[in-house]
């Protein structure tokens, strides 16, 4: 079936008013398929929506995810009524999703906004930090036990590293030979990268309600004021470590290049960008996080960057079954970029620690 017809049919399930006028594919995102669909209503007004087909290979319990999202967004709507929030449309059966054959669909409001995969603008970077810091703070009163664990052990780095080492041993796609160097590096840092997740499992690091996918492009900005509007992509909101949200965000936004930059020599962990992010983020969470959390932010950035490298390489070694790829070496390119970043974080570690301490004094 043509995509137009599919979207039209799904829009009908959610009782969207008017007639489907146009649609665009949104290419951000490595898992789900996302579309912007625009409808023309009876008065000729154009109204846009976000349609998403959830990847049920990765999210095997999509109904539970939609329940989590309903819980989180209604909590945020109730506590912070003046703020912009995501709203999902409901079907005639009052469900915030619909199933069409093998496909699982959901539809949310569209914001006329801008999202960044990369930027040099410190104000925008601080805005990303502010948005994720505020998200952390706002959910501090939310009862995490209400959340279904959508992907168990999502940021259990120790387990991710074991899975990776097994994939390297098994070598099912016959790619271990060409990735020897990457395998060796990840093997050499596996213990260091796993340490925080082990301390978390032992109860030494607090358990929070976290976003777990804090890429800058999951914050929508107002096109005109360049202020952060809303945090999106709530699929992985689960109990976790606050530091990993911080770390995942900086591995993405403090890089000098995109996550899949093919030329590793262009990839650095930019301390200026890191500082800008810290300013926005720490102002929000300074009082909410414990000393041990504040002291391990840089370690968390290293850990989550190594974890990401290991996840991309695991997928490459297993024949690319998890992340969407645009070309055969895509996961290898992503692996190399994350390794480059992790190595640069190691090199700049003292300076990064210093920036965190200095920023904490000034926010």
Residues of this chain that interact with ligand GN1 (CB under 6 A) are 29-31, 58, 213, 215, 233, 236, 259, 308
Give the binding-site size for Mg ion (rule: CB under 5 A).
Answer: 2
The entry of ligand GN1, Mg ion, none near residue 259 (CB within 5 to 8 angstroms by kind) is: ligand GN1
In the complex, the smallest distance separating the C-beta of residue 30 from ligand GN1, rounded to whole angstroms, is 4
| CA distances (Å), origin 362, targets 286, 287, 297 | 11, 13, 17
Q: At what angle do helices 330-347 and 242-253 cross, to 10 degrees?
A: 110
In the complex, the smallest distance separating the C-beta of residue 226 from ligand GN1, rounded to whole angstroms, is 23
Q: Is 260 in the site for Mg ion (CB under 5 A)?
A: no
Q: Is 259 in the site for Mg ion (CB under 5 A)?
A: no
- 346, 124, 111, 350: which is closest to 249 by C-alpha? 124
Nearer to Mg ion, 233 or 261 (CB): 233
C-beta separation of 71 from 216 below 8 A: no
Q: Give the span between the Cα atoms of 65 and 95, in whole angstroms.
A: 12
Nearer to ligand GN1, 39 or 312 (CB): 312
The entry of Mg ion, ligand GN1, none near residue 18 (CB within 5 to 8 angstroms by kind) is: none
Nearer to ligand GN1, 58 or 201 (CB): 58
Q: In the bound complex, which residue of the shown chain has the CB atom lying closest to ligand GN1?
A: 31
In the complex, the smallest distance separating the C-beta of residue 42 from ligand GN1, rounded to whole angstroms, is 35
CA 320, distance to chain mean position in Å, is 19
In the complex, the smallest distance separating the C-beta of residue 155 from ligand GN1, rounded to whole angstroms, is 9
Nearer to ligand GN1, 127 or 247 (CB): 247
In the complex, the smallest distance separating the C-beta of residue 252 from ligand GN1, rounded to whole angstroms, is 8
- 34, 2, 4: which is closest to 19 by C-alpha? 4
In the complex, the smallest distance separating the C-beta of residue 321 from ligand GN1, rounded to whole angstroms, is 12
The entry of ligand GN1, Mg ion, none near residue 320 (CB within 5 to 8 angstroms by kind) is: none
Q: Is 213 in the site for Mg ion (CB under 5 A)?
A: yes
Q: Give the span between the Cα atoms of 322 and 306, in whole angstroms.
A: 18
DSSP state of 121: -
* Ramachandran area for residue 101 (φ above 0: left; ψ -120 to 50: alpha; else beta): left
Nearer to Mg ion, 6 or 212 (CB): 212
The entry of Mg ion, ligand GN1, none near residue 352 (CB within 5 to 8 angstroms by kind) is: none
Q: Within the chain, where are the H helices?
A: 3-13, 62-79, 122-138, 157-170, 180-201, 242-253, 271-285, 291-295, 297-317, 330-347, 349-362
C-beta separation of 106 from 96 below 8 A: yes
Nearer to ligand GN1, 26 or 31 (CB): 31
Binding site for Mg ion (CB under 5 A): 213, 233
């Amino acid at each position: 079936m043509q995509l137009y017809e599919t979207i039209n049919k799904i829009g009908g399930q959610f009782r969207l008013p008017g007639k489907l006028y146009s649609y665009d594919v949104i290419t951000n995102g490595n898992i789900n398929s996302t579309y912007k669909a625009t409808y023309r209503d009876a008065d000729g007004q154009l109204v846009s929506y976000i349609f998403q087909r959830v990847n049920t290979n990765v999210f095997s319990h999509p109904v539970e995810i939609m329940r989590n999202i309903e819980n989180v967004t209604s909590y945020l709507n109730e506590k912070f009524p003046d703020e912009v929030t995501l709203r999902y449309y409901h079907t005639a059966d009052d469900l915030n999703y619909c199933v069409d054959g093998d496909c699982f669909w959901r539809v949310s409001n569209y914001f006329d906004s801008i999202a960044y995969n990369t930027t040099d603008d410190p104000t925008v970077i601080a805005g990303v930090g502010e948005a994720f810091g505020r998200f952390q703070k706002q959910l501090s009163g939310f009862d995490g036990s209400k959340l279904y664990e959508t992907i168990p052990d999502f940021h259990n780095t120790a387990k991710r590293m074991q899975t990776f080492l097994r994939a390297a041993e098994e070598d099912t796609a016959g790619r271990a030979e060409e990735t020897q160097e990457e395998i060796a590096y990840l093997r050499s840092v596996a213990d260091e990268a796993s340490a925080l997740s082990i301390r978390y499992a032992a109860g030494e690091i607090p358990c929070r309600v976290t976003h777990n996918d804090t890429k800058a492009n999951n914050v929508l900005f107002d096109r005109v004021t360049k202020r952060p509007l809303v945090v999106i992509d709530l699929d992985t909101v689960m109990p976790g470590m606050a530091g990993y949200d911080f770390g995942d965000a900086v591995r993405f936004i403090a890089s000098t290049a995109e996550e899949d930059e093919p030329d590793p020599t262009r990839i650095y962990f930019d301390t200026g960008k890191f500082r800008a992010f810290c300013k926005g983020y720490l102002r929000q969470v300074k009082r909410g996080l414990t000393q041990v959390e504040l002291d391990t932010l840089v370690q968390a950035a290293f850990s989550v960057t190594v974890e990401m490298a290991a996840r991309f390489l695991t997928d490459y070694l297993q024949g690319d079954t998890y992340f969407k790829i645009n070309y055969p070496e895509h996961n290898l390119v992503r692996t190399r970029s994350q390794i480059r970043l992790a190595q640069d974080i190691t090199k700049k570690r003292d300076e990064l620690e210093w920036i965190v301490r200095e920023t904490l004094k000034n926010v």
